[in-house]
Each structure stands twice: as C-alpha cells, then as structure tokens.
Amino acid sequence: MISEEILKKIAHIVGQKHLIAGRDELVEYGSDATKLEGMPDAVIFPQNSGEVSGILRLATEKGFPVIPRGAGSGMSGGAVPVRAGIVMAMNRFDRILAIDQDNLICKVEPGVITADLQKAVENIGLFYPPDPASVNISTIGGNVAECAGGLRAVKYGVTRDYVLGLTVVLPTGEIINTGVETMKGVAGYDLTRLIVGSEGTLAVITAITLRLVPKPAARRTMIAFFPDVSSAVDTVSRIIRNRIIPTILEFMDRHCLDCVREGLNLPIPPEAGAMLLIEVDGEEVLVEQEAERIRSVCCQGKVIKFQAASGKEESEKLWEARRNVSPSLYKLRPHKISEDIVVPRSRMTEVVAFLDEMGNKYGLSIPAFGHAGDGNIHVNIMLDKDDSKEMENALTIIKALFEKVIHLGGTITGEHGVGLTKAPYLEMEIPRAGLDLMSRIKKAFDPKGILNPGKIFYQRI
C-alpha cells in the first residue's frame, strides 16, 4: 500500500485532479480484456514527459510499481496491476502532433486511438496499415507496447514495421529519444525495436514517429466457403504460391460458422466447414486482376461457394460473419480463454485437427479463427471458469497446444503478448540463456523493477 505521503508527492507532480484513489473508481483500471483482476492504489493521468519522468523517478526512489495503461484492450493481462501500485493511464497524451506529407511520416502521442489516426491520415490520401480488430478502442501506445498485428499484417506487416522512433521515459526518470525520423538510420543499437513489444516493462512511451504509405486507390472483398479447414488452408497456400499477397486473408472454422450463422445477411452454406474472407487492395486495374486470379484459385480447389463484393455495401455484408465471430462464441459457454498462436501457414490444418482432438478428449468446444495469411490462429477454449474441472482441462489443453505449436516451428503468441497469461509458458519457447539475457536487459532499464512488475517474466505472485 502506497503511503499518504507518497500519494501527496504524486498529486503534486500530476495535479490532484489527475489522480484518483477512490476504490469504486479504481476498479475500472484493474483489468483488461482478459478479465483478470488487480487493484491499484491509485490511477494517474499525466500529460507530458516531464510529469511521467517525475513519477518514475519517485517510484524508483521509493520502490512502488507503475503500470502504464492505454485503453485496457490487451488480451494478455499486460495492463493489470498485479502488485498494486500506480496505474499510469496515458489517455491525456491524445494529440496527433504532426503529419508530414513530404516525408510520409507522422508524430503522435501514445493515447491517440488507433482508428482516429487511421482516419486522420486517410483523409489526406495516406495510410497507416496496422489494423488490430480493436482499432476503435486501442491506443497507438498500447499497439506499440504490444507490437500489435491485425488483419492487414499478411501484406503490410505489423506495428513494428511502421515505428521509426520513440520518445520514452526510463524507469529511472531519464527522457530519451530513440530511432530516427528518416527512412534509414543505423546509429547505435536499435533501442526502438527493443522497446516495441516490450509490454510496458522497459520504458513509458510518450511520443511515437510512424511511417505512412500512400492510401490504396481501390479494394475488393471476397468470401469463400469450403467443406473443411484443410481445403481452405490449401487454398491459402495456392493463393500465395500464385504470387498474390492479399491485404486480408482471414479464416473461420466450423464451430465459428455455427455460432455466427443465425441472423446474417449472407447465408452460410450448411455444408461449409471453413470460410476465408479475402481482400486485395491497390490500383484499380491490378485489384480487378488479382480478384479474378483469386476467384480462379478458389474455384480450382474444393470451394462450395465463392462471392466477390460489387461495392462497399456488399463488402460490409461479407465482413459481417468475421466481425461477429468473437462475441457470438459466448453462445457456447459463458467464458473463454483466448490464445493467439502462430504456425507456418502450411501447418494450420494440423493445429485445427489437434484442437478438435483435444476438444473431443476433454469435452470442451474450441472454435478457431484468425489471420490465415500469417498462420496466426485465435484459439478460443470455451468454458465455465467457475467449473474447476473445465478450468483444469482448459489448462491441460493450453500446455499441449503450446507444445504442439513449438514442435511445428511456431510461436505461442503472434500479437497479444506474453503479459501475465503466457508468462508461465515462455520458457517452453525461449531457452534459459535467452530469458537470462532478457532479464539482464530489464535490469539495465529498470534496476529496481518498478515498471509493470509480474509481466513477461514468470514469478509466482
């Protein structure tokens, strides 16, 4: 518990009205999309790097935890205050500082909502491609801290590929700039890349320089239904082998289709066991050519039904099933544990077959959907978390799944991060020597371990 005296010092730095310490108000800042819970001692809303620096310096001196927080949409418990302390909510860092059309870069504060940045640059014919499905709520700071991926990663890459430079405050209070504001730059170690994806454990990000690209002139949406996952995955491989890189290549398995089927504007064929949502973008003529080639690849395979949208309205209809999938899974059970494993694209069928086997063995439903173009599968273990047997079975399945994924040459998390939920499993993927080096890096940044403790590195709390 942080003392009254320290709270007074904190209030002096950020201003009393930007500090909350009432229990009822704190609850909202104790959780994220995982629904894991912690309780902070207070939440503060700093507005500039100087205030962040003052708080972190005090935290290092007095030894209290500080947990940076964006929108709290994280899926691995990264923003959950597991050892109490101060939640540092970055909502007031909400300005787009500059959009430089000559150099195709922009500078933003971390609390900007991802979709707001996308709209601002698209209004002037530019494009910020990273597109997590949470764009309407997540912040750019949270995206950078998690290295968010999303739906367009197959063609455009992930957040890391767009971050050129950062302003960050170290746990010891120093404010530093990393990286460049140019397209090239190799001066010194790449601290920018180290901090991207560091899940708020190395530094607090207070400004971000991002690379932009021209906005694609046209896009075309298509949907294809297949009898089973293996024919959908085979089609994904053949699209790529045909040297077409779609912007979107999303898949859903039979369990997901069953959950979203009802009430859709676009009927799902009853015999469908898998779906691909495909989108291409670029110059109008090329988009038409690529869409035609994709139609022909799908039709050469075992497609049951293929449809290409003729306009924006129809495109929205094709997106409906994918957009509805996550909430509709709760029809199966009241809770879910979501994993975001990645395997080489060609091995996805093996993973889905493995999930069916595990589901049957342990009597749980495990719908899978995700970014087929990246081999990134969102695995959802549906359960009643108050049922201890179901919970135990789910944990057994997760461990077996991670073993399988690593055996197939994949990773236990493609975009949601390690946070709390995957910390106990990290050693399955990263050998001890690698983890030791990471913990020495953490120590160099954060000698007193005050920044977001309990995340990434597994310690029993």
Ligand X SMILES: Cc1cc2nc3c(=O)[nH]c(=O)nc-3n(C[C@H](O)[C@H](O)[C@H](O)COP(=O)(O)OP(=O)(O)OC[C@H]3O[C@@H](n4cnc5c(N)ncnc54)[C@H](O)[C@@H]3O)c2cc1C
List residues near ligand X by CB under 6 A.
32-33, 67-75, 78-79, 90, 110, 132-134, 138-139, 141-143, 145-146, 148-150, 199-200, 204-205, 326, 415-416, 452
Nearer to ligand X, 109 or 390 (CB): 109
User: Per the structure block, which two tokens stand in for 415?
Assistant: 């975009």
Q: How far is the CB of 236 from ligand X (least distance, A)?
A: 18
Nearer to ligand X, 110 or 179 (CB): 110
Q: How far is the CB of 409 from ligand X (least distance, A)?
A: 21
Q: Are 344 and 410 in contact (CB under 8 A)?
A: yes
Q: How far is the CB of 109 from ligand X (least distance, A)?
A: 9
Nearer to ligand X, 27 or 353 (CB): 27
Strand ranges for 215-351 from DSSP E: 218-226, 248-253, 274-282, 305-308, 335-342
Q: How far is the CB of 81 from ligand X (least distance, A)?
A: 10
Nearer to ligand X, 69 or 404 (CB): 69
Helix H segments across 27-179? Answer: 49-62, 114-122, 140-146, 153-156
User: At 226, phi and psi to the nearest 5?
Assistant: -130, 160
> For residue 356, with 0-12 CB atoms within 10 Å meaning exposed, 13-18 middle and 19 or more buried, which class applies?
middle
- CA-based angle 142:148:151, to the nearest 5? 135
Nearer to ligand X, 19 or 298 (CB): 19
Nearer to ligand X, 85 or 216 (CB): 85
Q: How far is the CB of 196 from ligand X (least distance, A)?
A: 10
Q: Return the number of other C-beta atoms located less than 10 Å from residue 265's C-beta.
A: 11
54: helix, strand or coil: helix
Q: How far is the CB of 170 from ligand X (least distance, A)?
A: 11
Q: How far is the CB of 243 from ligand X (least distance, A)?
A: 26
User: Per the structure block, which two tokens stand in for 432?
Assistant: 């001890």
Q: Are 297 and 232 in contact (CB under 8 A)?
A: no
- List CB contacts of 418: < 8 A, sequence separation 6 or more: 76, 199, 426, 455, 456
Nearer to ligand X, 185 or 327 (CB): 327
What is the rounded distance in angstroms from the CA atom of residue 219 to the CA atom of residue 287? 6
What is the rounded distance in angstroms from the CA atom of residue 305 to the CA atom of residue 245? 21
What is the rounded distance in angstroms from the CA atom of residue 101 to the CA atom of residue 173? 33
Q: How far is the CB of 432 from ligand X (least distance, A)?
A: 24
Q: Are 351 and 366 in contact (CB under 8 A)?
A: no
Strand ranges for 333-443 from DSSP E: 335-342, 368-371, 376-383
Nearer to ligand X, 208 or 394 (CB): 208
Q: How far is the CB of 32 from ligand X (least distance, A)?
A: 5
- Residue 149 CA, distance from chain mean position: 5
Task: Taking the CA atoms of 72, 78, 84 and 87 in sequence, report the sign of the dihedral they define.
Answer: negative
Nearer to ligand X, 132 or 373 (CB): 132
Q: How far is the CB of 93 from ligand X (least distance, A)?
A: 7
Q: Which of 138, 207, 172 is nearest to 66 (CA)?
A: 172
- Which of the 8 DSSP states describes residue 260? H
Q: How far is the CB of 392 from ligand X (least distance, A)?
A: 26
Nearer to ligand X, 359 or 419 (CB): 419
Q: Are 187 and 97 in contact (CB under 8 A)?
A: no
Nearer to ligand X, 207 or 397 (CB): 207
